[in-house]
Structure 1
Amino acid sequence: MSILKNALDSITVGLEDFESPDERRIISSTRNIFAGILLLFKHKLCELSPQGSDEALIKQRVLPELDATGAVNWIGKGKKTVDVQNIKDRFESLNISVDWARLDRINKYRNDIEHYYSTLNSESVKQLISDSFIIIRDFIVDELGGDPKSLLGEGYWKILVDVNEVYVKEKQECDLTLEKLNYYTDEILHALQEYHCGECGSGLLETEDLGEAAEATFKCRACGTEAHYDDIVNYAVNEFYADEAYSAHKDGGDTPVVDCPLCGFGTYIVHEGICVSCCGSATHECVRCGCNIPPEELSDGDICGYCAHMWEKMKAE
């Protein structure tokens, strides 16, 4: 059985799981759809593998061998195939385009569904299927030169299209309700629009309130879970900046968020100069030396850590 057929079978079985009234098959749906996408990628690598290389591009272990003429050939070894990071690296080297941010979102959501969410239903996986629809459609058309409707079959293709259209419409409706509120900064609005329900993982957060966001109650359209602003805003903002914070920690640079130096429990957005909980703003420029105060040194005072240290040292003398 070809890798392409395995990929298509995995995706269609995932869609059957999604359509099933048995909610126990929700997790199986997410696994199968994500596995199918990876198999599509591996199929492309197989197509590009040199003849006689034992499908080297999909093997994690590739070793050089000399042929009868003394030429060096790279041959795939073993049964272990490439993982997501290997695929990213090889696609980048081969100039194969994939929306990796979207795929990472699918992968994270799949993992969260399996391990963290206690309430699941078909509504919970609409975003995953909507994102998957775009990845599958674009890759089959742009990289495989195929027709996704023909490959998957009209019935399964219609499920993907319909779920995507419904999710996009519902997401737009939910986002519009959030936009009617007043926020300390628009960054909070953007973070809440990216927030996923802690119970079911859905991204369909909405509100019936008007006025100040800090006084509002929010509801997940998928499972009905309600939460006050204070219950979700810090988590939402920290998740929104998670990638940027990780890059700053790994590669250097200022972190985008810190614990609020004023109230101590809210998340402080550094470049906005505001706490999402108390709306407080710290002093960012040291009044003694005039330098910018690093995010980690922000406090309820107005001097940087070095100047504070020197001041204490002078007093001790």
Structure 2
Amino acid sequence: MSALLDNAIGSIRVGVQDYRSPDDHRYLSAVRNYYAGILLLAKEVLVRRFPNEDPDILIAAQLKPQAGPNGTVEIVPAGRTTIDFQTIGRRFDDLGIPFDHKLLNELNRIRNDIEHRFSPLGRTAIIEAIAKGFPAAGQLFRLLGEDPVELLGDEWAEMLQSQALFIAELEACQKTLEAIDWRSGTIAEAKLVCTECESNLVQQADPENTDQDDADLSCRACGAQLDVGEVIEKTVEDVLGAEAYLRAKDAGEDGPYYDCPECDKGTFIDFEAACANCGFTYTSDGRCGICHATIPVADILQDPDRTLCSYHQYLMEKDD
């Protein structure tokens, strides 16, 4: 077993053992060690996939060119920092290693959130952190061709149990939300996100309540009482944030969600033509009354009664 893999297995084991401990003060240590082990697994994947290359280059966070002998150029690590959850996805992509980026992004988010919390970690939050690391660990073991049962033994069984516990908690929370008549299909299908800790373990106090505005929400992971409008706004960002990034990056376009002129939350969804929070919609059909060109949603939201494209709006104002 390589030193990298040995350290990865050791870190995961220590993390799971800390998680088992009845001492609440070891919960942060549990997440740190567990996630450090998963990151080491990812580095082992890189090193194994390219056995003839320098491991220091493969796992360096940044690289730089340097003059080599006889007029050549060498690529060397720029500093001693190695890849983290935020950068390893790009490295996998660059080297053609298939991996689900969402898994890494989620681990990075949870790790950062837990590191910067001011309140003590509860056991439910740790169960979620361990459970959400499980799919990434499983995929990395498959890329390595290693058997996690053989390498981790009881700790792998504990990870499986955490996954099952989290799924059970999530299902219980979602069951309390089933009666709500959400204004948005996007929200109805989404896992709500806590505005305090970004957990998906959001629950409703009265499972029989059907009114979105009357939903009394709280987080089972951190215990926070939540405002339903803020939860909807956070969930819209969580669900549609990736699409918003791609629209801006690839096409220079806005959307798919905008600030609502009625409730001032970033919850107006263009493909639903309505606000997920307050239900605001506009009467315009979205086309210019003269040339029938599409009017951008952002322009309509600034003036919901607008019926002209920018060009004909300009001509009309100029004539006035």
Q: TM-score, normalised by structure 2?
A: 0.84
Paired position in structure 2 for 1:57: 58
Q: Whose strand fraction is larger, Structure 1's or Structure 2's?
A: 1
Q: Would you say the 8 A contact 1:195–1:236 is kept in 2? A: yes
The equivalent of 1:206 in structure 2 is 203
- Give how far 1:149 is off: 1.5
Please tell me whether the aligned partners of residues 195 and 234 of structure 2 are also in contact (alpha carbons under 8 angstroms).
Answer: no
Aligned residues: 308
Q: Distance between the aligned counterparts of 1:273 and 1:49, measured in 2?
A: 49
- Unaligned segments of structure 2, at least 5 residues: none
1:218 partnered with 2:217: yes
In 2, the alpha carbon distance for the partners of 1:262 and 1:215 equals: 19
Distance in 2, Cα, partners of 1:312 & 1:118: 55
- 2:193 — aligned with what? 195
* Residue 137 of structure 2: aligned partner: 136
Structure 1 residue runs of 5 or longer lacking an equivalent are none
1:207-286 correspondence runs (5 A) = 207=204, 208-251=207-250, 252-265=252-265, 267-282=267-282, 283=284, 284-286=286-288
Call closer, same or farther: CA 1:246–1:117 in 2, change over 3 Å.
farther
The CA RMSD measured in Å over matched residues stands at 2.9
Give the conservation status (yes or no) of the 8 Å contact 1:48–1:57.
no
Alignment of 1:95-110 (within 5 A): 95-110=96-111
Q: Quick check: 1:197–1:205 contact (8 Å CA) kept in 2?
A: no
Task: Tell me what 2:8 maps to.
Answer: 7
Distance 1:186 1:66 in 2: 59
Residue 177 of structure 2 aligns to a residue whose secondary structure is helix
Q: Percent identity?
A: 32
User: Which secondary structure does the structure 2 equivalent of 1:160 belong to?
Assistant: helix
Partner of 1:310: 315
Name which of structure 1's ranges 177-186 and 297-306 shifts more when overlaid on structure 2: 297-306
* Counterpart AA for 1:45: L
| One-letter identity of the residue aligned with 2:194 | H
Change in CA separation of 1:255 and 1:117 when aligned onto 2, cut-off 3 Å: farther
Deviation digits for residues 111-164 of structure 1 (CA, Å, limit 9, x no counterpart): 122225635212113222112112112221x21111102212x22112101100
- The answer to which of 5-14 and 53-62 deviates more is 53-62
1:106–1:117 CA distance, 2 compared to 1 (3 A): farther
1:245-303 deviations in whole A, cap 9, x for unaligned? Answer: 22222232331111113444462111100012321112233334322221221222122
In structure 2, the residue matched to 1:29 is 30
Partner Cα distance (1:263, 1:223) in 2 = 27
Amino acid at match of 2:200: G
| TM-score in terms of structure 1 length | 0.84
